[in-house]
Amino acid sequence: MAQDRKPDVYWEGEYYAPSELKGMEVRVCRTCSKAKPFIAFSKNSSKCRLCSKINKNWVYESLVSEFGEICMICGAGPVEGKRLYIDHSHLTSEIRGLLCNTCNTGLGLFYDNPAILMSAISYLRRGRG
């Protein structure tokens, strides 16, 4: 490839010359280093959708091999035909484990805040009926 020539754009299994995608802006994926149209990226992501999916599959399989395919809060397995959710900190992006839909939703409704969750536990332990 000549140094003054722009790289081909890879999109949906095909390579295109940049001139073929007139008016379509492209971004370079930080994982695969390929130039792709903006539509190939999730909002506010520097990784293309394909690389994000591959990475999620690897993370999921790693967590399953380490902890089993069960919710790390309630112990439930995945619903037939679905996977558990990869739970992560919204502050640090650190992956915490796998959760079922109910537990994942519950943590979100409590804003992932341990103080609020502890308050909820205290409330439940009071046993009003």
CB atoms within 10 A of CB 108: 13
pLDDT for res 4: 53
Q: According to CATH, what is the number of the domain 68-125?
A: 3.40.1800.10
The full set of domain ranges for the chain reads 9-40, 68-125
Those residues of the chain that have pLDDT short of 70 are: 1-23, 129
What is the C-alpha to C-alpha distance for residues 123 and 129, in angstroms, rounded to an integer?
12
Find tokens 């502050």 and name the residue: 91
Q: Which of 15, 16, 38 is nearest to 28 (CA)?
A: 38
Contact 60, 98 (CB under 8 A): yes
Tell me the pTM.
0.67
Phi, psi of 98 (to 5 degrees): -105, 140
Find tokens 């959708």 and name the residue: 49
